[in-house]
């Protein structure tokens, strides 16, 4: 290799290894390899979300690079938590666990392969970690801000093979939930639906789940293309009022897995399953799809499409129309027009928008800001792309209402309104855009306008679980908690593997109705699903304070401030005001009694 092909630099390196991979392979070689690859794929997504780059995956190990140790640790912790929950849902013992090491050092990059002392050090640290654990080099630890939701146990100086000097090592975990509240949450049964629960009842109209289309080209860019085509087909099908469609969030669990179609039908509660593949090269793309009856295994429809890459939007419409025809469903004139309407003709803007919107939906400061950056790029490529403007409005709104997320919350709120206005004008029948605009208007205290928009959004939503859940936020704010619970549960049915914030909404509504046990159960389940989501702790603080369990309320408040050190009561109440002044006073009083700062 010539010298000019090498790149040397100082970086934060992460090394991850599968625990007991040989034993897993001996149990079932094919399934073990599939599970290990799925584990690395999911970890690579967490790495990308926090600004890292997965440089190399080899066999049972992964190497990644970051610019900051705190990003590497946050990505690793987020993944380890999610992977533990993922493995709990598996019915067998083939459950890949990772050990992770993080170090600073020199790395040599050549042809996307990394070597160097930093990688070796990260690998040595990984070998010291417990299964599901993380070890970090002392020098990397010293660069991290100390007010992060991490606990770092000093393991002392360790002699490491290949290194002349001992290395100080820290074991990293999430900061513990205070006192008995941690024990309660740990003992909660995972609320996410699993295959061993009762089968979901089939809807009274044709129901369909779309599996992630397989990328048979290889490469991350082609992977985004396959994911995007899957997303667009689901979105377009969701606009058909006479279909019941499962959300993409719920079917992502099947990505890159060999699945039993009947099992998918049972887990998602649908009669039909669409699966397919995408092969792209040069300027052409080939998409195949087949529709299967999950009850009988019978193939209902199948087709192959060969198109120019720029024609993928028309291709997605064709797939949707043929599926609708195969299911003998009639479209209204409005649905025909909405399916044919194109959001953008720019493939790059489309891909940036889908990736950015997913990051914004994560509900964490870092991911929301990274998502906003991608959405702003998309809009520079196509300033008339309604979906990008709608997702950007959500990003700005989250930055405005969460203390410390924006240098000027007032300006962020203005930008949210402006982006929402633009999105609504470009696509006035888009349920997600209407629902997000209704939530923004509650922050502006325009409750009548917000409620009217939420009603419009629910009328257009059909199978759009995210739009339904967003509209439920407005219903809650406007004092319609019972209706908000009904709509949130409908969103959950359209997304059986629902995101944690749906549980948060149930917790808020049950608190409003004085249903403390239900509020506590939903909030704990949300925390278990996402330990860095601080809002469910706010619900618990209100419940405990109102029940005169002040010491418990204050322990919960400590957790809020650990996760969100800049939390302030004033900003929180301003960001999501309630219509009823008495209810607003009740909320403020409870949170003050819990000891949260003004």
User: For 462-482, how does the pLDDT look when each residue is reduced to its tens digit (9 = 90+)?
Assistant: 999 999 999 999 999 999 999
Q: Under CATH, domain 3-175 is a member of which superfamily? A: Nucleotide cyclase, GGDEF domain (3.30.70.1230)
Q: How far is it, in rounded angstroms, from Cα 282 to Cα 221?
A: 13
Q: What percent of the chain has pLDDT over 70?
A: 89
Q: Calculate the alpha carbon distances from 218 to 57, 208, 363 in Å.
A: 14, 27, 30
Statement: residue 314 has pLDDT above 90: no
Statement: residue 4 has pLDDT above 50: no
Sign of CA dihedral 386, 392, 396, 402: positive
pLDDT digits (tens, 9 = 90+) for 210-248: 999 988 876 666 777 888 889 888 988 998 889 999 999
Window from 89-103, 105-119, 321-335 with minimum mean pLDDT: 105-119
Statement: residue 453 has pLDDT above 70: yes
Main-chain phi, psi angles of 564, to 5 degrees = -130, 80
Statement: residue 19 has pLDDT above 80: yes
Statement: residue 163 has pLDDT above 60: yes
Statement: residue 335 has pLDDT above 80: no
Window from 57-66, 489-498, 579-588 with minimum mean pLDDT: 57-66
Window from 152-156, 174-178, 230-234, 439-443 with minimum mean pLDDT: 174-178
| 505 neighbors 476 (Cβ within 8 angstroms) | yes
Note the Cα 477 to chain centre separation in Å. Answer: 24
Window from 108-122, 262-276, 299-313 with minimum mean pLDDT: 108-122
* pLDDT at position 561: 87
List the structure tokens of 18.
């599968």
* pLDDT at position 1: 40
Where are the chain's structural domains? 3-175, 207-340, 397-593
Statement: residue 491 has pLDDT above 70: yes
Q: Calculate the alpha carbon distances from 258 to 32, 79, 157, 261, 287 in Å.
A: 12, 22, 45, 9, 19
pLDDT band at 495 (very low <50, low <70, confident <90, very high): very high
Q: How far is it, in rounded angstroms, from Cα 366 to Cα 73?
A: 13
Mean pLDDT to the nearest integer, 167-180: 70
* pLDDT at position 217: 76
How many CA atoms within 13 Å lie on the side-chain side of 18? 24
Statement: residue 178 has pLDDT above 90: no
pLDDT digits (tens, 9 = 90+) for 534-548: 899 999 999 999 999
Statement: residue 183 has pLDDT above 60: no
Bridge partners (DSSP) of residue 56 are: 63
Statement: residue 10 has pLDDT above 80: no
Statement: residue 177 has pLDDT above 60: no
* pLDDT at position 220: 62
Statement: residue 328 has pLDDT above 90: no
**Average predicted confidence (pLDDT) for the chain:** 86
The gap between the terminal CA atoms of the chain, to the nearest Å, is 61
Mean pLDDT to the nearest integer, 589-597: 95
* pLDDT at position 342: 59
**CATH architecture of the domain with residue range 397-593:** Alpha Horseshoe (1.25)
* pLDDT at position 147: 52
Give the number of other Cβ atoms within 10 Å of residue 576's Cβ.
Answer: 17
| 125 neighbors 102 (Cβ within 8 angstroms) | yes
Most confident option among 11-25, 189-203, 261-275: 261-275
* pLDDT at position 148: 61
* pLDDT at position 3: 43
* pLDDT at position 145: 65
Candidates 563, 581, 67; CA nearest to 596 is: 563
* pLDDT at position 197: 43
Q: How far is it, in rounded angstroms, from Cα 446 to Cα 454?
A: 12
* Domain 207-340, CATH: 3.40.50.10070
Mean pLDDT to the nearest integer, 86-91: 74
pLDDT band at 196 (very low <50, low <70, confident <90, very high): very low
Mean pLDDT to the nearest integer, 485-498: 95
Statement: residue 194 has pLDDT above 60: no
pLDDT band at 94 (very low <50, low <70, confident <90, very high): confident
* pLDDT at position 387: 94
| 394 neighbors 437 (Cβ within 8 angstroms) | no
* pLDDT at position 375: 95
* pLDDT at position 502: 95
| Entry pTM | 0.72
pLDDT band at 70 (very low <50, low <70, confident <90, very high): confident
Task: Tell me how many degrees the CA angle 392-398-404 measures, rounded to the nearest 5.
Answer: 125
- DSSP line for 563-578: H-TT--HHHHHHHS--
Length of the chain: 598
* pLDDT at position 74: 86
Window from 52-66, 149-163, 167-181, 276-290 with minimum mean pLDDT: 167-181
* pLDDT at position 189: 33
* pLDDT at position 191: 40
* pLDDT at position 341: 56
Statement: residue 6 has pLDDT above 60: no
Look at phi and psi of residue 8 and say left if phi exceeds 0, alpha if psi is from -120 to 50, else beta: beta
Q: How far is it, in rounded angstroms, from Cα 173 to Cα 495?
A: 30
* pLDDT at position 172: 87
Q: Helix, strand or coil for residue 246?
A: coil
List the structure tokens of 262.
């009947």
Helices (H), 239-343: 248-251, 261-268, 312-326, 333-340
pLDDT digits (tens, 9 = 90+) for 398-437: 999 887 888 899 999 999 999 999 999 999 999 999 999 9
Tell me the chain's radius of gyration from C-alpha atoms: 24
């Amino acid at each position: 290799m010539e010298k000019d092909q090498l790149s040397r630099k100082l970086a934060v390196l992460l090394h991850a290894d599968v625990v007991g991979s040989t034993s897993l392979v001996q149990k079932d070689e094919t399934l073990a390899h599939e599970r290990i690859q799925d584990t690395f794929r999911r970890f690579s997504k967490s790495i990308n979300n926090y600004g890292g780059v997965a440089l190399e995956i080899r066999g049972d190990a992964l190497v990644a690079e970051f610019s900051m140790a705190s990003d590497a640790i946050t990505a690793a912790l987020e993944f380890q938590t999610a992977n533990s929950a993922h493995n709990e849902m598996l019915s067998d013992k083939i459950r890949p666990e990772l050990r992770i090491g993080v170090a600073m050092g020199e790395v040599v990059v050549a042809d996307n392969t990394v070597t160097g002392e930093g990688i070796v050090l990260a690998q040595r640290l990984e070998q010291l970690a417990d299964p599901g654990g993380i070890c970090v080099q002392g020098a990397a630890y010293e660069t991290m801000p100390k007010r992060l939701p991490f606990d770092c146990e000093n393991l002392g100086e360790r002699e490491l093979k290949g290194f002349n000097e001992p290395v100080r090592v820290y074991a990293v975990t999430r900061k513990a939930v205070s006192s008995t509240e941690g024990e309660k949450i740990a003992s909660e049964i995972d609320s996410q639906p699993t295959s061993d629960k009762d089968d979901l009842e089939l809807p009274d109209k044709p129901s369909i789940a779309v599996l992630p289309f397989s990328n048979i080209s290889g490469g991350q860019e082609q992977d985004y293309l396959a994911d995007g085509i899957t997303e667009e087909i689901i979105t377009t099908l969701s606009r058909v009022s006479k279909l019941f469609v499962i959300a993409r969030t719920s079917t992502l669990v099947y990505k890159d897995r060999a699945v039993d179609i009947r099992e998918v039908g049972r887990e998602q509660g649908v009669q039909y399953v669409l699966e397919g593949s995408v092969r792209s090269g040069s300027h052409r793309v080939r998409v195949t799809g087949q529709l299967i009856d999950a009850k009988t295994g019978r193939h209902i429809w199948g087709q192959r499409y060969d198109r120019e890459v720029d024609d993928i939007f028309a291709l997605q419409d064709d797939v949707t129309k043929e599926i609708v025809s195969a299911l003998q469903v009639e479209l209204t004139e409005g649905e025909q027009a909405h399916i044919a309407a194109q959001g953008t003709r720019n493939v790059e803007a489309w891909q940036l928008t889908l990736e950015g919107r997913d990051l914004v939906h994560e509900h964490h400061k870092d991911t929301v800001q990274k998502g906003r950056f991608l959405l702003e790029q998309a809009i520079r490529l196509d300033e008339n792309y309604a979906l990008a403007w709608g997702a950007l409005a959500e990003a700005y709104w989250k930055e405005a209402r969460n203390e410390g997320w924006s240098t000027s919350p007032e300006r962020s709120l203005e930008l949210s309104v402006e982006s929402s206005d633009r999105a609504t004008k470009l696509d006035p029948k888009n349920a997600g855009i209407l629902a997000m605009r209704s939530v923004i208007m509650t922050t502006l205290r325009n409750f009548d306008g917000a409620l009217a928009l939420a009603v419009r959004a629910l009328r257009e939503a059909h199978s759009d679980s995210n739009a339904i859940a967003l509209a439920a936020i407005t219903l809650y704010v406007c004092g319609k908690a019972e209706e908000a619970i009904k709509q949130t549960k409908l969103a959950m049915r359209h997304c059986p593997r629902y995101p944690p914030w749906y549980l948060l909404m149930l917790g808020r509504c049950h608190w409003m109705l004085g249903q403390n046990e239900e509020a506590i159960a939903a909030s704990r389940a949300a925390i278990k699903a996402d330990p860095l989501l601080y809002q469910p702790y706010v619900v618990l603080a209100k419940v405990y304070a109102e029940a005169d369990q002040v010491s418990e309320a204050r322990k919960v408040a400590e957790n809020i401030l650990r996760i969100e050190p800049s939390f302030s009561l004033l900003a929180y109440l301003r960001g999501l005001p309630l219509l009823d002044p008495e209810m607003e006073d009740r909320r403020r009083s409870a949170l003050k009694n819990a000891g949260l700062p003004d």
